[in-house]
Amino acid sequence: MFQSTPPDLSAGLPLFRVGVAVVLRESSQSGTPPFVLVGRRRSDVHLPDLWEFPGGKLEPGESAEAGALRELQEETEVEAVVRYRLRDELYHYVDRSVQITFVLCDYRAGVPATAATCAVRWVGLASLQVYRFPDASVPVIDQLQQLEGVGPKRGSMEPEEDRS
């Protein structure tokens, strides 16, 4: 089911299909919630300087799952396997509409690189909500927090800069 802003906002806007990989990596400490991979958008792109889950536009005929894994590999050099579709969102911006499929994935290999972002890091689910994400990602963050039952109030502080 797609969540959407009012349809009158989307009239005449281009529609982009996007696959997004929400990649979880288990903690090495027993009983600690997993980490999730996030990247910070460059300042010269749509929605500059916000944090995001890796992903991007789907190729014609490409499934959301395949596209999310392809974009993950291209953007971060990380490999993962799909667990399941987490959520679908239809989001309307001023200049475009985006049909986003968020895919929950399990980390398999690779050291995160910044091929498409200015920073990339593993973030504990307990602190995920302090990062500023695009509005379309907010329901996914809330869903992850509900699954784990952890996390401070969203936007309560700005994260430290990435040191990698």
List the domain range (segments joined by +) for residue 19. Answer: 2-148
In this predicted structure, what is the pLDDT of residue 10? 55
- pLDDT top residue among 16 and 47: 16
Q: Return the percentage of the chain with pLDDT > 70, whole number.
A: 81
> Which residue(s) pair with 107 in the sheet?
80
Q: How many domains does the chain have?
A: 1
In this predicted structure, what is the pLDDT of residue 118? 80
- Whole-structure pTM value: 0.80
With respect to residue 10, please indicate whether it lies within any of the assigned structural domains.
yes
In the chain, which residue ranges form alpha helices assigned H by DSSP?
A: 64-76, 138-148
CATH for 103: 3.90.79.10
